[in-house]
A and B are shown apart, each in its own frame.
Chain A
């Protein structure tokens, strides 16, 4: 869980970006929340634990996670972690930069924003989830919902408009029975028939 979320949960404001993770942000004394010493100790332990974790494997995990969200800007349009052009200087520079930013413990979105400022918005491999770009994520599901609604309407329409025998209709004539028998015969033949067309009576 991000440290800022933990702080919010226990009634503290998240640290400012310029501050290190362990610093409690300075705020006007009147707005400072009242924090019990037990709570503060808990926060300290939690932050220390988080910090230790981030210095170890978490940095690698974050590097991998963020690296997958970025593309190499050398013109190859491959992922930052994927670009393997021999001697590609751009990817080396970008990876070093990402590694340094991850080490500063800046939140993910700030790191991504910094890359966007430096390389342009196309450096991020996926569209953002706000503004116009949200459409990229939403439209496939909107289309799916509309398609499904249309499909269900078609099925319902067909179900209502299929030929149904009228109530009290007379018994089928021998010719009709014969026709049904022929059809059954064709269907049986279909089960081991050769082709799929209706004229031959196949089953695909």
Chain B
């Protein structure tokens, strides 16, 4: 199976380079047969990489420790579902996984691209093949997962890192990678359209759709990573502004900017240069993120899979950037705007400010992430840029972004009258101010959380009124009830209302994040029947229990929880000792409610007294982050659906149109 895997990856490598070189030759010499052959080779890369991937998974499942990668990342007692996740737990495997996803995307893109874009397809195939060729080169020559164990075959493997033996780690990396890799597709379409000076705007629709898919995966991947950090690492938080977290967040922010500004191009033929560069930058940041993760250039809590592979990524990034710049310089006249801004008070301005704020956030995070490297280079002194820096810089930026999220729907395309804005602005603004005052009256004094809650209400009111106004018109004219009318309205313009649902999800996430301003924590030795108080909860240490299996031995504290003096629940914070890797690990116990999470960590035993030490956190509103992400994913699903066709009933359409005209004024 090892030989088969080696053969499959080598075959994929040859096919991919053939697809790249033959594709370029076919384009240069206008040889259609050669170009078609290149595309077929491009399609064939996917089954070849899939075969290589399956053979690696097979080697892991069969405990074939003659393969170095299997011996280093798996062991016999590892449950089968974690054995599958061994694929992305090490550098060689995760690079192979990247190749698999990219070839899968290319396969789907080339088969699904409609005839309308057949002129773009060969160039898209070449661009995707060039990215694929880079990764397959790494798979074959730099980080092959099929290398034989150098010194004999061990009886058992070293085991999977205990931190990775969680459900989230089975799902989070694939989601994140689907996001990272997915941005290759809009990049390929944007670059191909630029190179060919492709007429019309339809290419931007495909780019947008693929960007939305990649953005959705990245969103879910990032949040799953946060959930993993929260439930596994045991420090009571979900986001630490670690360089590797930032590396995922940067393309997400850039992709968000693109998904907003692309509407300017679709609706008004504006910002074409901007959009093309946003797509390029998003892709480049995805590669940059992988570089940060793999190279070890910055210090990170994610100290996995660091190596000298970073040089390869720097060269690839440089080449990709060069291609983008050359393609842009040669074809920039093709990207002239068809329109200009008609009024400062318009939806277009809103999008411009939205993009501005998102890019400032990108710069601030990138700057903070790379500043230690810069400092070491210039001062010869390595410094740390930690959470406090990022919080101080980014919180005001994101609050302003939240404000813009609420303002956007109030603005009309082209021009908005002050009267219209005032009328639409009044209710949401009053609601936000009222909430702010109420929070102050109830004793809250933390400015940022107060602003986050108020702005959250502002956005919800804005979006709610958008839904209600449209739904009332439809309900009045069609006899539907309000709920059905909202459904009908949403399905008639899935992009618009799906987008609003995404914004609602973002607000929920924002509220959850704002809750962190009120976190509490207590740490104390907890001998039997000792008590600990945190918020309304009293914790009573009852006993310890022990467990043992082939993979790990564990020790749990049994903690009885009282809320306001009343028995509430029992929790079991634990510690595990993984036998194969000889690593201890804390197992957090969380009792989650919509209002707050009670989060217990068994930190170990005091070395002198041998008494267990318990750390308790009270984290308000954390679950809103997870619920918000579900809403975002739901909104993405809606936005990707095709809109239902307009009702052509002669009685309804003019009536609806009249109502909308009234609403618009």
Residue A203 interfacial (CB < 8 Å):
yes
B202-220 with Cβ < 8 A to chain A:
202, 205
Which residues in chain A, 137-177, are within 8 Å of chain B measured between CB atoms? 137, 139-140, 143-144, 147-148, 151, 154-155, 158-159, 161-163
Q: Would A75 and B360 be within 8 Å (CB), given that A121-B383, A194-B644 are in contact? A: no
Rounded to whole Å, the gap between the CB of A4 and the closest CB of chain B is 23
Determine if B601 is an interface residue (Cβ-Cβ < 8 Å): yes
Q: When chains A and B are docked, how far (Å) is the Cα of A76 from the Cα of B379?
A: 24
Q: Are B386 and A192 in contact (CB under 8 A)?
A: no
* Chain B residues closer than 8 Å to A69, beta-carbon distance: 388
Contacts A123-B384, A151-B353, A198-B266 given; indicate if A140 touches B492 (C-beta within 8 A).
no
Instruction: Tell me whether A203 and B383 are in contact (CB under 8 A).
Output: no
Q: Which of these, A136, A194, A197, contacts B201 with CB under 8 Å? A: A197
Q: Are A140 and B360 in contact (CB-based, < 8 A)?
A: yes
* Residue B447 lies at the interface, judged by CB distance under 8 Å to chain A: no
Question: Complex: how many Å from CA A75 to CA B575?
Answer: 21
> Would A125 and B386 count as touching, CB distance under 8 A?
yes
State whether the Cβ of A102 lies closer than 8 Å to any Cβ in chain B.
no
Contacts of B565-610 to chain A: CB distance below 8 A: 575, 584-586, 601, 603-604
Contact status of A84 and B603, CB under 8 A, knowing A188-B660, A196-B495:
yes
Q: Interface with A: B9-17, B149-157, B298-306, B542-550, which one?
A: B298-306
Contact in complex: A155, B344 (CB < 8 Å): yes
Report the Cα distance A78→B267, complex, angstroms: 47
Could you tell me if A162 and B340 are in contact, using CB atoms closer than 8 angstroms?
Answer: yes
User: In the assembly, what is the distance between CA of A84 and CA of B586, in Å?
Assistant: 8
The answer to whether the Cβ of A189 comes within 8 Å of any Cβ in the partner chain is yes
- Whether, in the assembled complex, A82 has its beta carbon less than 8 Å from a beta carbon of chain B, the answer is yes
Q: Which residues of A contact B643 (CB under 8 A)?
A: 193-195, 202
CB of A27 closer than 8 Å to a CB of B: no
**A125 contacts across to B, CB distance below 8 A:** 384, 386-389
Considering only residues 23-82 of chain A, those with a C-beta below 8 Å from chain B are: 68-69, 71, 75-79, 82
Q: Which residues of B contact A1 (CB under 8 A)?
A: none
Decide if A158 touches B495 in the complex (CB within 8 Å). Answer: no
Q: Please tell me if the beta carbons of B367 and A132 are within 8 angstroms of each other in the complex.
A: no
Tell me, in angstroms, the Cα distance from A11 to B604 when the chains sit together. 51
In the bound complex, residues from chain A placing their C-beta under 8 Å from that of B642 are: 194-195
Is B393 located at the chain interface by the 8 A CB criterion? yes
Within the assembled complex, what's the spacing in Å between the Cα atoms of A124 and B382? 11
Q: How many A-B residue pairs have CB under 8 A?
A: 181
**Docked CA distance A202–B208 (Å):** 15
Set A71, A87, A126, A189: member contacting B584, Cβ < 8 A: A87
Contact of B352 among A79, A151, A163, A199 (CB under 8 A): A151
Interchain CB contact under 8 A, A147 and B359: yes
Question: Do residues B383 and A122 form an inter-chain contact, with CB atoms below 8 A?
Answer: yes
Is B341's CB under 8 angstroms from A122's CB? no
Kindly state the separation between the CA atoms of A127 and B492 in the bound complex, as whole angstroms: 51
CA distance A126 to B392 in the complex (A): 11
Query: Is A100 among interface residues, defined by CB-CB distance under 8 A?
Result: no
The proximity string for B residues 249-282 relative to A, scoring 1 for CB distances below 8 Å and 0 otherwise, is 0000000000000010011110000000000000
Cβ–Cβ contact B375 & A132, under 8 A = yes
Contact between chains at B301 and A76 (CB < 8 Å): yes
Number of contacting residues on B, CB 8 A? 76
**Min CB–CB distance A93 → chain B (angstroms):** 12
Q: For A113, what are the chain B residues with a Cβ–Cβ distance below 8 Å?
A: none
- In the complex, whether B615 has a CB less than 8 A from a CB of chain A is yes
* A203, B267: Cβ atoms closer than 8 Å: yes
CB nearest neighbor in B for A159:
B341
**Across-interface contacts of A192 in B (CB, < 8 A):** 492-493, 646-647, 653, 656-657, 660
In the complex the two chains form, what is the Cα distance from A163 to B341 in whole Å? Answer: 10
Docked pose: A6 CA to B387 CA in angstroms: 31
Q: How far is it, in angstroms, between the C-alpha of A123 and the C-alpha of B656 when the chains are bound?
A: 64
Task: Give residues 150-166 of B contacting A (CB, 8 Å).
Answer: none
Cβ distance B152 to chain A, nearest Cβ, rounded Å: 30
On whether A136 and B371 interact (CB within 8 A), knowing A203-B493, A203-B496, the answer reads yes
Q: Check A188 against B657 for contact (C-beta < 8 Å).
A: yes
> Which residues of B have CB within 8 Å of A162?
340-342
Distance in Å: Cβ of A21 to nearest Cβ of chain B: 27
A residues near B (Cβ < 8 Å) are 68-69, 71, 75-79, 82-84, 86-87, 120-127, 132-133, 135-137, 139-140, 143-144, 147-148, 151, 154-155, 158-159, 161-163, 188-189, 191-199, 202-204
In the complex, besides A136-B368, A203-B267, 15 extra interface pairs with C-beta distance below 8 angstroms are: A79-B240, A86-B586, A126-B386, A132-B379, A137-B389, A140-B367, A143-B363, A143-B364, A151-B356, A159-B341, A162-B340, A192-B492, A197-B205, A198-B268, A199-B202
Selected A-B contacts with CB under 8 Å, 28 pairs: A76-B301, A77-B242, A77-B299, A82-B237, A84-B601, A125-B387, A126-B389, A127-B383, A127-B385, A136-B367, A136-B385, A137-B389, A140-B364, A140-B368, A140-B393, A143-B367, A191-B656, A192-B653, A192-B660, A193-B646, A194-B643, A195-B205, A195-B642, A196-B496, A198-B201, A199-B201, A203-B496, A204-B267
